[in-house]
Structures are given as structure tokens and as C-alpha cells.
Amino acid sequence: MGLIIALVVVIIVGVIIDQKTQVQMKKNNFLKWQKQIEKLADSFELDVIRNNRIFESYKKLVQDNMAIDSSGYYFHQWVERNHYYALLAALRKIFFNVNNQKEYSLLKIITQLKDNGNTVTKQNYPKYFKYKFPETDIRYHVGINSATEGFFDSSGKLSQEKLKKDEEYLGKAKRKLKFINERVLHNQEKPESLLPSDKELEEIISRLREMLHQYRTFFACGLDVSWSIEGDLSWMEVFKEPWFKEDKI
């Protein structure tokens, strides 16, 4: 009898330990994705938002000054080409890269979320939430509902439909930006696909930004996730200084 009781106790303890291990693994996965999303957001701010703003301001400077516009054709062409190559490379790294096991992209995170659908549920999500309001406070529930909008299905599990839809869009966007693999990364002189038009690129970036912001909000669990550098014009200070000494011109 004593042996049976001991065996039951061992089984129960084993189950409890296994459950705690699973809970910890789920938490570790969530915190890992949370950290990687913030890295992607930082890269997007610096390598896409900031660089795009600098380039657009640069174009306006050139367009508003006929002397600059007409005298530096090859320089302007060089700036534009390098801007687009750097922009496309940044987009590929942030959103589409799945081959580098040490680095994450939004596509890789979405794929892992699909494959680990039980990691985050509507029931356990509040455990990660950063709002300090008590559950009786309406702001607590408004915050959670805002951060998780569209992420959970009617059963409270991660919406596989949403994840699949986002995954498919990223695949579509990647194909549109196929130019980067051919010209920038593989140095093909005559790429099969052409560089997207300014309008197409703007639409892609806008949609990718919206998607990244949505996942960032979800994983930030109530913390502010606004972009911080859109109004930064400090880079223009360099044009207020002379670039050449008179005796060197």
C-alpha cells in the first residue's frame, strides 16, 4: 500500500513539474519574440523611417534648387540608387529573412507563432500585460482588447487565419521586392524583375509598417510603441557647412 501511495505521489509531482516546465517554456518563447520584435522595430525606425525621411527631404532640397538639380545629375543618381538598394536590403532583413538561424524577421516570428499556437492564448495573455491597473478597472480590459485586436479567434486561441493571411502577404511583398536578391545580393546586371515604382514601394512599406506596428503592440503588452524619430531633421546640419576649402576647388 505504501509503495502504491509513493508511486502516485511521484506521478503527481512529475505532472506538476511537467506543467510548470511547459508554462515556463511558453513564457520563454513569448519573451523571446517580444525581444526580437523590439529589435525589428528599432531597425525599422533607423533603416526605413529615418532613411526614407532623409531621402525625401534630400529630393525636395534638390527640386527646390535649380542650380543643385541641374549640376549634379550623376551624384543625384548615385544617391538615389544607393538609397533604394539600402532600403530594400533593410526591408528584406526585417521582414523576410528566414535562412539565418541566429536572426529573426517578422516572417520567422509569424511562422513560429503558427507552429506554437498554444504559447499565447486569450486566457494567459494578461499574465504578460504591462498595465498596472487592477482587473476591475475598465482601462485594464480596454488595453488588453486594443493590444490583441484580431489576434485571437472565437475559442481564445491565436487566430491561424490571421497568421496565415499575414504570412501570405509577406510572401507576396517579398516576390515584389525580388529585385534585391537578383541585383543587390547576387549582382545580376539584368534582373528578371524591375525595381518597384515609387508608388508600389510606398504602398508596400506602408503595409509592412502597419503589420509590424500591430505585432509590436501585441508583444509590448500595453507599453507605448509609437515611432520616435519621424521629426528628426538634425541630419540637415551638414549642408550648412562648407564642403570644400576655396583653394581646393
Give the pLDDT mean for 79-108.
Answer: 86
The predicted model gives 27-33 an average pLDDT of 83
pLDDT band at 192 (very low <50, low <70, confident <90, very high): low
Q: Is the pLDDT at 7 greater than 60, yes or no?
A: no
Domain locations along the chain = 2-231
For 50-86, letters b (16+ CB in 10 Å) and e give: bbbbebeebeeebeeeeeeeeeeeeebeeeeeebbbe
| pLDDT-based confidence at residue 122 (cuts at 50, 70, 90) | confident
Q: What is the mean pLDDT of residues 11-40?
A: 68
| Residue 126: predicted pLDDT | 79
Of 116, 90, 95, the residue nearest 105 (C-alpha): 95
Q: Which residue has the higher pLDDT, 16 or 235?
A: 235
Give me the mean pLDDT over the 26-32 stretch.
80
How many C-alpha atoms does 190 have within 13 Å on its Cβ side? 0
pLDDT, position 108? 93
User: Could you report the per-residue pLDDT of 58-82, keeping only the tens digit for each?
Assistant: 888 888 888 777 777 888 888 888 8
The stretch 204-226 carries a mean pLDDT of 84
pLDDT at site 209: 92
| Range 216-224 average pLDDT | 78
25-39, 155-169, 210-224: range with highest mean pLDDT: 155-169
Residue 110, C-alpha cell as written in the block: 509569424
**pLDDT tier at 1, thresholds 50, 70, 90:** low
Q: Hey, is 136 helix, strand or coil?
A: coil
Model pLDDT, residue 111: 92
pTM greater than 0.85: no
**C-alpha 101: how far from its chain's center?**
17
